[in-house]
Amino acid sequence: DAGVTQSPTHLIKTRGQQVTLRCSPKSGHDTVSWYQQALGQGPQFIFQYYEEEERQRGNFPDRFSGHQFPNYSSELNVNALLLGDSALYLCASSSRGRTLRQPQHFGDGTRLSIL
Give which of 3, 11, 88 is closest to 46, Cα–Cα: 88
Q: Under the criterion CB under 8 A, does residue 81 sit at the interface with other proteins? A: no
Q: Under the criterion CB under 8 A, does residue 63 sit at the interface with other proteins? A: no
Within 13 Å, how many C-alpha atoms sit on residue 10's CB side?
A: 2
Nearer to other proteins, 80 or 108 (CB): 108
Terminal CA-CA length for the chain? 37
Q: Are strands 10-13 and 110-114 parallel, antiparallel or unpaired?
A: parallel
Interface pick for other proteins out of 21, 25, 36, 48 (rule CB under 8 A):
48
Where on the chain is the footprint of other proteins (CB under 8 A)?
4, 6, 31, 33, 35, 40-45, 48, 50, 55-56, 58, 90, 92, 94-96, 98-109
